[in-house]
Chain A
Amino acid sequence: MKTATKLEAAAELIPEGSVLLIGGFMAVGTPERMIDALVARGVGGFTVVANDTAMPGHGIGKLVTAGLVSKAIVSHIGLNPETQAKMIAGEMEVELVPQGTLVERIRAGGVGLGGVLTATGLGTPVEDGKQIIEIDGKKFLLEKPIRGDFALIAAKQADYKGNLEYALTAHNFNPVMALAADTVIAEPHVIVPVGAIPPDAVKTPGILVDHLLEREH
């Protein structure tokens, strides 16, 4: 049984300068209430690891606008002109990572692997400074694991044990990120009694979830 954590209390858990893994793809499947609480609190200096920085006014875009992100490790910033402007002005560091490589680096961090070998990025600027390893005559880039201090994930529903079920394209990075942080904070749309989510539908076992945000009022 988990106790529901209040939004403000969840935001207070996160110190300045933390590395945050944040779920979502263009703000679909992003824990919006958690982000609003971080913006309201105003503590920043975060390194954000996510697929993208969404759009101004949505998801991670709100953290960028509020100036709480020092560094973003993402695959795409094309729909957020503010991220691009802050990057050019030197106010924010941006590391671009191919999307499939990013998710596997996070997965590696979460499942105890020392890295990922992938052909993605070979012959492109992505390979700069990285080790190239040949396996059975094929070349691969060595990509290192990523872990976070906190994973902030969104789910369709949770039960009292913290088991999570996701909706459609709101899965994206959430299930993988739930493995790869010291503290996992989940924001479900609804919370249901134990047993209401069939075991086959659970994509993130509750043992991975440290804090369950209280239900939406």
Chain B
Amino acid sequence: MNAKEVIARRVALEIEDGMLVNLGIGLPSMVANFLPEDVDIFFQAENGVIGLGARPPEGMEDPDLTDAGGGFVTAVPGAASIDSAMSFGLIRGGHLDMTVLGGLQVDERGYLANWMVPGKMVPGMGGAMDLVAGAKKVVVAMVHTAKGNPKIMPECTLPLTAARRISLIVTEMAVIEPTDEGLALREVGPGVTVEQVVEATAAKLIVPETVPEMALA
């Protein structure tokens, strides 16, 4: 199982019955493949649908029905189409139960940076700042390091997405929860030791006596 699949399978366990969930593009969107069977939820795509469904069959795409990455999708029974004001009203207004986003850096305060690398990559924040500022639960799904360099830092060096503490960091090596006291190591990845996690993390981690291995959906 590759790192991204481990992450997606672990994040899937955070999804509870009845939730409205927004998945970011890329790695976070893989979470939809591993939903537990007993949960009945709606996915929101911020471009305007509650009840995002799977990709349509080849040749049956509707050009007016896409996800926030521009890919063709379907709408599940019970879906609603909404405009951008309603969509972001839901996000900012605390009606979105959970968002799963990718990350470039997360720091000891639990602050996320995921929208630009000055001088290198300036795609724009899209909906990321509203999602982090407004969703009830913000899960960051990302590989633990970038080309061997730690992404979990004492303080983000990249511009922040929001000055709000995110809820959970899920990587292929660990599940880490930002708390009032700092970053608490909750779980380690399959076959990963606590020492390896500490080694690959630049931020200070609060390590309890026993750290269980993560379960996967």
Contacts of B125 in A (CB 8 A): 75-76, 96, 98-99, 126
How far apart are the CA atoms of A75 and B131 in the complex, in Å? 13
Confirm or deny: A104 has a beta carbon within 8 angstroms of a beta carbon on chain B.
yes
| Contact between chains at B133 and A28 (CB < 8 Å) | no
Chain A residues contacting B63 (CB-CB under 8 Å) are 28
A141 to chain B, nearest CB (A): 10
Interface segment, A3-11, A39-47, A169-177, A191-199?
Answer: A169-177
Give the segment of A12-20, A113-121, A144-152, A208-216 that binds chain B.
A113-121
The residue that B84 contacts in the complex, of A84, A122, A126, A173, with Cβ under 8 A, is: A173
The reply to whether B129 and A121 contact each other, CB–CB distance below 8 Å, is yes
Q: Is A89 an interface residue when CB atoms closer than 8 A count as contact?
A: no
The residues of A that contact B64 with a CB separation of less than 8 Å are: 28-29, 156, 167-170
Q: Given A96-B125, A100-B92: A168 and B130 within 8 A (CB)?
A: no
- Within the assembled complex, what's the spacing in Å between the Cα atoms of A52 and B47? 11
- Whether the pair A28, B162 counts as a contact (CB closer than 8 A) is no
B83 contacts A124, C-beta separation under 8 Å: no
Please state if B126 and A76 are interface contacts (CB–CB under 8 Å).
yes
A78: which B residues are within 8 A, CB to CB?
Answer: 123-124, 126
Docked complex Cα distance between A41 and B75 (Å): 38
Listed residue (A27, A29, A104, A171) with the most chain B CB atoms within 10 angstroms of its CB = A171
Q: Which of chain B's residues have a CB closer than 8 A to the CB of A175?
A: 83, 85
**Is B123's CB under 8 angstroms from A125's CB?**
no
B130 touching A120, Cβ below 8 Å = yes
Within the assembled complex, what's the spacing in Å between the Cα atoms of A87 and B121? Answer: 12
Chain A: which residue is nearest B163 at the CB level?
A123
Tell me if A77 is interfacial: C-beta within 8 Å of chain B. yes
A96 to B116, CA, bound (A): 11
Hey, which chain A residues are within 8 Å of B130, CB to CB?
Answer: 98-101, 120
Count residues on chain B whose CB falls below 8 Å from chain A CBs: 41
Contact yes or no, A169 B66, CB < 8 A: yes
Q: Could you tell me how many residues of chain A have their Cβ less than 8 Å away from some Cβ of chain B?
A: 46
Chain A 53-94 near chain B by CB (<8 Å), digits 1 or 0: 001000000000000000000111111000010010000000
> B47: which A residues are within 8 A, CB to CB?
25-26, 28, 169, 172
- Closest chain A residue to B79, Cβ basis: A168
Once the chains bind, are B162 and A123 in contact (CB under 8 Å)? Answer: yes
Q: In this assembly, does B103 line the interface, its C-beta being within 8 Å of a C-beta of chain A? A: no
C-alpha gap A75/B160 in the complex (Å): 16
- B123–A172 touching, CB < 8 Å: no
In the bound complex, residues from chain B placing their C-beta under 8 Å from that of A26 are 47, 66, 69-70
Is A168 a contact partner of B65 (Cβ separation < 8 A)? yes
The A-contacting residues of B in range 135-177, CB under 8 angstroms, are 159-164
Taking CB as reference atom, which chain A residue is nearest B46? A99
Q: Contact: B124 with A168, CB < 8 Å?
A: no
CB closest chain-A residue, reference B83: A171
- How many whole Å from A198's CB to the nearest CB in chain B? 16
The answer to whether the Cβ of B181 comes within 8 Å of any Cβ in the partner chain is no
Contact code string B28-51 (vs A, CB < 8 Å = 1, else 0): 000000000000000001111100
Cα A104 to Cα B93 in complex, Å, equals 13
Top 3 A-B pairs, shortest CB-CB distance: A123-B163, A78-B123, A100-B88
Known: A78-B124, A120-B129. 18 other contacts (CB 8 A): A27-B70, A28-B66, A75-B124, A75-B127, A76-B124, A78-B123, A99-B46, A99-B125, A99-B126, A104-B85, A120-B130, A123-B162, A156-B64, A168-B64, A169-B48, A169-B66, A172-B47, A172-B83
